[in-house]
Structure 1
C-alpha cells in the first residue's frame, strides 16, 4: 500500500526530491481529490522542463523595441525630414545586424512613431531573412481608434504582415501601456531603444530592461 501526503500547494522540497530521483516509488502526493504518483510527476516535470527550455530558447532569439511617439521626436510627424530618414536607416541596420546575430523573433508595441518604424523595417527585412517573425503586442483592443486614416492604414498593414498578434487587454485600462512594456522585456533578450533621453515610457522600459539584465542597444536622437 502506498503512502499518501495531502498538500494544498506543492512545496519546492517535493520538486527537489522528485528532480533528484529520491522520491520513493511507494510515495504518492494527493492534490485535492487527485493523486499524483512518482512516475506521473516525473513525466510532468520532464514536459515542463522541455517547455521551459523551449521558451528560454525563444526568448534568447527575441528582440523588442521601445521608442518615442512622433510628438516627442525632433521632427514630429515629418518623416521626410533628413533626421527621420537617418534614424530609420540606423534602426534598419540595427535590426539587420540582430537578425545576422541569430535573433529571429521581433516584438513591436504598435504605437505610432518608433514602434511603427521598427515593425515596417522587420517586414522589409523578411525578404532577406525569411526566418524572422514579427509579433504585434497590442496593449488594448482598439488601440488605433481615433487615429487618422493614414496611421490606421499603416497599423492594419503591419498587423496583416505580422506572424503573431498578442492583445494584452480587451479594453483600455490604467497601466495597460506599462503592462505592454513589461511584456516586451519579459519575453526578449534584446531591447532596441530609440530615445531622446526624455523621461517617459521609453526611459522606464530601458530601466526595466537594465534591471532584468537584458542586452540594450540604445539609439540616441
Structure 2
C-alpha cells in the first residue's frame, strides 16, 4: 500500500485575531487526513502556518506512533534560527530534508515545489493575496492534480 503524504502551505503572518481559528481548522484538516489514511506529513518549517501544522502533527504522533513528520528546510542556514519552537519541533521530526545547501532567491519556491511533488494532499492557509508563496504553491499543486484543501483566513 502506498504511503499517503500531506503537506502544508500558508502565510507566516497570521493575524492574531485569527490564530485560534486557523489552529482549529488546521487541527481538523490534520485529523481528517489521518482518518483518510495519511501517515506522512511535510512542513516547510517557516513561522506561522508551517510551525502550527508541525506542532499539531507532533501532538498527534503521541497518539499514533505510525505518523511520520518531515521538515523541509529551504536552505541549510535556516537551521540557525533562534526560535525555540522551531528547534523543539525539529527534534520531533523523523526526517529533515534540506532543499538547497545555500540561500538563493528561489530556495523557498524550490522547497514548496518539493513538498507539492511529494504529497497527494496540500493543506493551504490562504488569505486571498494575489501573489506569494502560498498562492504559487496552491497553483503548482493544482497543475500536478493534487488535492488542495484551503483554509480561508
Q: What TM bracket, shorter-length normalisation?
A: over 0.9
Measure, in 1, the Cα distance between the counterparts of 2:66 and 2:109: 30
| Mapped pair 1:68 → 2:11 | yes
SS at match of 2:75: coil
Match of 1:204 among 105, 120, 136: 136
Alignment of 1:108-123 (within 5 A): 108-123=43-58
Structure-2 residue corresponding to 1:169:
100
Looking at structure 2, the residues matched to 142 and 120 of structure 1 have their Cα atoms a distance apart, in angstroms, of: 22
CA distance in 1, matches of 2:10, 2:112: 11
Kept after mapping to 2: 8 A contact 1:104/1:131: yes
Match of 2:152 in 1: 220
**How far did residue 170 of structure 1 move?**
1.6
What is the number of equivalent residue pairs in this alignment? 152
Tell me the distance in 1 between the aligned counterparts of 2:47 and 2:61: 21
Match of 1:101 in 2: 36
| 1:89 alignment partner in structure 2 | 24
Unaligned runs of 5+ in 2: none
- CA deviation after TM superposition for structure 1 residue 128, in Å: 2.1
Larger Rg: 1
**In the TM superposition, what whole-angstrom CA distance separates every residue of 1:59-90 from its partner, at most 9, and x where no partner exists?**
xx0000000012xx332xxxxx4x21121011
Instruction: Map Cα deviations across residues 189-221 of structure 1 (whole Å, 9 max, x no partner).
Output: 000000001121000000000111010110001
Structure 1 length normalisation: TM-score?
A: 0.66
Structure 2 counterpart SS, 1:158? helix
Structure number with higher relative contact order (C-alpha < 8 Å, ≥ 6 residues apart): 2
**Equivalent pair of 1:62/1:189 in contact (CA under 8 Å):** yes
CA RMSD of aligned residues (A): 1.3
Shift of the alpha carbon at 1:144?
4.8
CA contact (8 A) 1:135 1:165 kept: yes
Following TM superposition, the consecutive aligned residue runs of length 4 or more in structure 1 with deviations greater than 3 angstroms are none
Aligned counterpart for 1:159 among listed residues 81, 84, 90:
90
